[in-house]
């Protein structure tokens, strides 16, 4: 009797696991046929120049869309390299996601895609082939129309480079997470402002940059590491970054050193306390990185205009200071 019961139980377990696995295999690369925002690219030189500024500066597309770690380091230091893609970003047990070729090559780059497919990627996090991307990597959904147009117009103006980037590698666990976690859902209802605040030292421009163009809020907020939902006050820091073995190795940095983001509200205990004036803040950004392996896009941000850096300073200063002691910036987790 007991034996029969155990056998039926085992059969049920095998069937449940089997159907789950089948469900995951069928759903992890589900396609979305959502419409794209109706925007049109431009060949106007002022529009293209704005796109160039955003891609190489505040919106730091160049940090990821290069081919390798040595290239990532060179671009951070100011070298201009083709955005040919291929850099593999390790996602731990989930697999590896690869940045893609953003040059207009017709076989391997964005020359394959319509403008609509590119705008939809930026606004909704849906890849040109319809598969949901990983929106936290490119959180630019609330860029105003004119900035999206500027960026795509600039990409269309680049020299085509042939570089066939292989597909991402998802482990089975990666496919399970892709199937069930909101981190891999497209953004259904983005809320971009009707127009981009003009580049000028205003709180409004600073907020737009810090939240929607430069993603300061993405890293300088404590987050749940599975869902990336905020679990602490915005801009008060505390998000932790594991070492990226290949990068640490290339830079000969301590492979066990983690980093966490400082509090960038104007609390006396936070990082902003040392910048007494907007000029101090600008000077810090012009200097670039001090920690070689920091995930912060220091190179790109060092290319932001004085107006934009001042605007960010003013916006951060306008926030209520948050008391949050985040501890050492560089640390080694305690072994248990």
Binding site for ligand HEC (CB under 6 A): 55, 59-61, 63-65, 89, 97-100, 102, 118, 121, 127-128, 133-134, 137-138, 140, 151, 168, 210, 214-216, 218-220, 241, 259, 261-262, 264, 271, 284, 289-291, 294-297, 301, 312, 329
Which of residues 22 and 279 has its CB atom nearest to ligand HEC in the complex? Answer: 279
Count of beta carbons in the 10 Å neighbourhood of residue 135? 20
User: With respect to ligand HEC, which residue has the nearer C-beta, 18 or 245?
Assistant: 245
Report the candidate in 113, 105, 106, 100 with the shortest Cα–Cα distance to residue 166.
100
Minimum Å gap between C-beta 137 and ligand HEC is: 4
Distance in Å, CB of 5 to ligand HEC, minimum:
46
Least CB distance to ligand HEC at residue 20 (A): 23
> Which string of b and e fits 272-290 if b means at least 16 CB within 10 Å?
beebeebeebbebbeeebe
In the bound state with ligand HEC, the residue whose beta carbon lies nearer, of 7 and 283, is 283
**CB of 18 or CB of 78, closer to ligand HEC:** 78
Nearer to ligand HEC among residue 172 and residue 244 (C-beta): 244
Instruction: Tell me the C-alpha distance between 326 and 186, whole Å.
Output: 32
Per the CB < 8 A criterion, the answer to whether 230 and 223 are in contact is: yes
Each as own residue / partner, the long-range contacts of residues 189-197 (CB below 8 Å, 24 or more positions apart, any chain) are 190/123, 190/124, 190/141, 190/142, 191/142, 192/123, 192/141, 192/142, 192/143, 192/144, 192/145, 193/142, 193/144, 194/144, 195/144, 195/145, 195/146, 196/143, 196/144, 196/146, 196/147
Q: How far is the CB of 231 from ligand HEC (least distance, A)?
A: 16
Nearer to ligand HEC, 1 or 115 (CB): 115
Taking the complex as a whole, the smallest distance from the CB of residue 108 to ligand HEC amounts, in Å, to 9
In the complex, the smallest distance separating the C-beta of residue 97 from ligand HEC, rounded to whole angstroms, is: 4
């Amino acid at each position: 009797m007991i034996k029969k019961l155990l056998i039926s139980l085992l059969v049920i377990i095998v069937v449940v696991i089997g159907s789950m696995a089948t469900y995951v295999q069928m759903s992890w690369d589900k396609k979305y046929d959502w419409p794209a925002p109706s925007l049109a690219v431009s060949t106007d030189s002022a529009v293209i120049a704005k796109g160039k500024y955003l891609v190489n500066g505040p919106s730091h597309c160049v940090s990821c869309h290069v081919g390798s770690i040595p290239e990532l380091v060179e671009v951070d230091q100011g070298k201009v390299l083709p955005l040919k893609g291929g850099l593999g970003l390790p996602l731990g047990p989930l697999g590896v996601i690869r940045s893609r070729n953003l040059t207009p090559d017709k076989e391997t780059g964005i020359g394959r895609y319509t403008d609509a497919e590119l705008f939809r990627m930026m606004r909704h996090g849906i890849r040109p082939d319809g598969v949901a991307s990983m929106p936290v990597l490119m959180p630019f959904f609330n860029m105003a129309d004119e900035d999206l147009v500027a960026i795509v117009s600039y990409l269309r103006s680049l020299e085509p480079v042939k570089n066939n980037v292989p597909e991402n590698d998802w482990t089975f666990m990666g496919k399970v997470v892709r199937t069930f976690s909101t981190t891999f859902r497209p953004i259904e209802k983005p809320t971009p402002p009707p127009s981009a605040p003009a580049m000028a030292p205003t709180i409004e421009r600073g907020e737009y940059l810090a939240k929607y163009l430069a993603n300061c809020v993405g890293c300088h907020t404590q987050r749940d590491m599975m869902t990336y939902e905020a679990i602490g006050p915005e801009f008060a820091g505390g998000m932790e970054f594991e070492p990226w073995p290949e990068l640490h190795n290339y830079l000969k940095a301590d492979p066990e050193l983690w980093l966490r983001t400082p509090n960038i509200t104007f609390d006396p205990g936070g990082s902003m306390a040392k910048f007494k004036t907007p000029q101090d803040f600008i000077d810090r950004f012009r200097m670039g990185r001090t920690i070689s392996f920091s995930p912060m896009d220091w190179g790109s941000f060092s290319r932001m205009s004085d107006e934009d850096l001042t605007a960010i300073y003013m916006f951060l200063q306008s926030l209520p200071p948050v008391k949050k002691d985040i501890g050492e910036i560089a640390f080694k987790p305690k072994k248990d």
